[in-house]
């Protein structure tokens, strides 16, 4: 690797995190090159959070956007580009706020918001977080056609961003397609589905598990199919790192089946080591991780049924 030209390292440094460059500087023979690049990026990179805000006037929705750093200083995207070299701008989270507006930030319409998002996408980190959980508040205050346009702007404009974590409310077909797209990209590690989600979400979560990167899954309300329940338990059991899964709702289980049959099918020979309570419509499946791992809690699983 030490025989590669400098421009290769320089280009690669734009993709890597500062922590990754520090690791390379300490471990590779071309350490001086990586030390130089690490210091350059550590001193110049700026991390921002992109917030999208709204207001409704006579049922017409308008938007503001602000990039904040350290939770305090805020700028528009244009101001950030003026103050910083573009190669050092990074956006690590995008959140949509449906009930707040900023007193001095400029307003824009949905078309202008779409253009702003398109300009911001190249700055988004591969481990970026996306949060769109204010839908129910927005929907109460604006027309359905404007809400549909907003969802198209967000979910189409951000569909190809490699988010590593997302928090979503179900807003219809657009949100489901967005979730499918994010799963297909293969970067998702944390999924937080708030509110009530349809039964088809079982298949989507199963697809997410197949990518083998999931470390946190939270679903507020869903009818859980037995196939998903099985996949979640098997996935959790074979992982060494901490896995957090919290799923609430009704279990789509054959109520005529005996409880022991359900447990045997789920856990097989591991059943005696795990000591779960049976998943029913009024109970909680809680796994005694302390017993299984001799007091060292390496994993957490919490299938809640209410």
Given the structure tokens 């009530």, which residue do they identify?
196
Q: Per-residue confidence at 281, pLDDT binned at 50, 70, 90?
A: very low
Give the model confidence (pLDDT) of 47-73 as tens digits: 899 988 877 666 677 788 888 887 667
Q: Which residues of 94-117 are buried (b: 16+ CB within 10 A; e: fewer)?
A: bbbbbeeeeeebebbeeeebbebb
Higher pLDDT, 138 or 244: 244
Structure confidence at residue 167 (pLDDT): 96
Average pLDDT over residues 18-27: 83
Confidence band for 266, pLDDT divided at 50, 70 and 90: low
Report the candidate in 150, 69, 71, 82 with the shortest Cα–Cα distance to residue 117: 150
The residues near 249 (Cβ < 8 Å, ≥ 6 apart) are: 219, 220, 221, 222, 223, 224, 305, 306
Question: What does the chain come to in residues?
Answer: 306
Find the Cα–Cα–Cα–Cα dihedral 216, 219, 225, 230, rounded to 10°.
Answer: 20
Nearest to 215 by CA among 243, 179, 192, 181: 243
The per-residue pLDDT of the chain, averaged, comes to 77
* pLDDT tens for each residue of 137-177: 666 655 666 677 778 888 888 988 999 999 999 988 889 99
pLDDT digits (tens, 9 = 90+) for 105-122: 778 888 888 898 999 999
- Residue that wins the pLDDT comparison between 163 and 38: 163
pLDDT tens, residue by residue, 189-228: 999 999 999 999 999 999 999 988 998 999 988 888 878 8
Q: Inform me whether the pLDDT recorded for 7 exceeds 50.
A: yes
Distance separating alpha carbons of residues 303 and 306, to the nearest angstrom: 10
Give the pLDDT confidence score for residue 30 in this predicted structure: 62
Per-residue pLDDT, 297: 39
Looking at residue 269, its pLDDT comes to: 56
Q: Whose CA is closest to 39, among 54, 21, 14, 16?
A: 21
């Amino acid at each position: 690797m030490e025989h590669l030209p400098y421009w290769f390292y320089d280009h690669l440094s734009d993709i890597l995190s500062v922590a990754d460059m520090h690791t390379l500087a300490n471990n590779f023979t071309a350490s001086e090159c990586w030390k130089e690049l690490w210091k350059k990026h550590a001193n110049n990179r700026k991390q921002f959070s992109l917030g999208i805000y709204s207001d409704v006037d006579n049922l017409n929705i308008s938007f503001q956007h602000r990039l904040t750093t350290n939770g305090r200083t805020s700028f528009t995207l244009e101001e950030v580009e003026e103050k910083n070299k573009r190669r050092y701008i990074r956006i690590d989270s995008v959140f949509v706020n449906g009930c707040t507006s900023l007193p001095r930030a400029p307003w824009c319409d949905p078309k202008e918001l779409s253009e702003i998002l398109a300009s911001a996408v190249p700055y988004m980190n591969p481990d970026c977080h996306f949060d769109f959980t204010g839908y129910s508040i927005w929907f109460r205050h604006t027309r359905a056609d404007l809400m549909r346009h907003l969802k198209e702007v967000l979910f189409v404009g951000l569909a190809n961003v490699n988010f590593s974590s997302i928090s979503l409310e179900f807003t219809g077909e657009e949100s489901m397609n967005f979730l499918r797209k994010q799963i297909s990209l293969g970067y998702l590690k944390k999924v937080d589905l708030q509110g009530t989600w349809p039964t088809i979400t079982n298949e989507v979560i199963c697809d997410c598990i197949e990518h083998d990167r999931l470390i946190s899954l939270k679903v507020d309300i869903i009818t859980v199919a037995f196939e998903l329940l099985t996949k979640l338990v098997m996935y959790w059991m074979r992982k060494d790192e901490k896995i957090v899964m919290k799923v609430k709702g009704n279990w789509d289980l054959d109520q005529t089946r005996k409880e022991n049959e359900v447990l045997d099918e789920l856990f097989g020979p591991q059943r005696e080591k795990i000591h779960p309570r049976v998943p029913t419509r009024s109970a909680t499946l809680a796994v005694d991780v302390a017993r299984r791992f001799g007091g060292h809690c390496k994993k957490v699983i919490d299938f809640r049924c209410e």
